[in-house]
Amino acid sequence: MTATGFSGLGFVALAAILMVLFAFIYRRSPFSFRSIQALSRIRRSASMVVEDGTRLHVSLGNESLLTPAGASALAGLTLVRKLGEITSLSDRPPVTTTGNGLLNLLAQDTLRGAHHSVAVDQAFDINNARLTGFTPLSYAAGVMPSIRDESISANVLIGNFGPEVGLLTEAADRQNAAVVAASDSLTAQAVLYATSSETLIGEELFAAGAYLQAGSTHSASLLVQDILRWLIIVALLAGAGMKMAGLL
């Protein structure tokens, strides 16, 4: 293995050790994080759905989980689990939409788990997790009727999107439905910033689980991200200083 490979492996090992350490500390003394307005809006919207008898919609994008861009969809699945536990008690259970077959299967399983965790009387409806299309535009075209026709009052768009996400925010706006959105795509972030008032920017996408209290591991991951970020900054500054001093 090359030196680069060893350094990468050491970086991963350090992250894993810190995750375990901070997760243990969090169980004894929970951390407090800065307020993120969009994540607070998600919690409020989920509570309002139960109270007013409307429906929550979570759209997870159309990217394969086998690519690096699939990480944003995994963050979205965590959100589906927590929001499903809250809103499955409603007369109208939550729905998810995806544009990838594997992602849709995971969304079905996540909704089913959330449904059974609150021990509701009615049977789980597998059709609440929907595969709406395999291409970006067909996916968006399939999502729009759900936003329009199913008494949805809150939409959470979290995953990998392209510029077609603007069609979804416009459809929600026509129904006066709330939209909270996040994406790992710079193109989608630009569109969402212009069309949605509640948008998560950058790595805030991956903080959703921690802010919705999905578990100590999610909270620990935020601290680990900050520590690793500072280590990289220090390494870059040290390398630049050594280069200027002629040591490299």
How many CB atoms neighbour CB 99 within 10 A?
28
pLDDT < 50 stretches in the chain: none
pLDDT in tens, 169-190: 999 999 888 888 888 888 988 8
Assign 179 to helix, strand or coil: strand
pLDDT in tens, 110-154: 998 888 887 667 788 888 999 998 898 999 999 999 888 888 888
Assign 236 to helix, strand or coil: helix
Class of 35-214 in CATH: alpha beta
What six digits make up the tokens of 239?
């390398």
Domain locations in the chain as residue ranges? 35-214, 215-248
How many CB atoms neighbour CB 74 within 10 A?
15
Residue of 10, 13, 52, 38 lying closest to 182 (CA atoms): 38
Q: List the beta bridge partners of residue 97.
A: 59, 130
pTM: 0.80
What six digits make up the tokens of 180?
């909270």
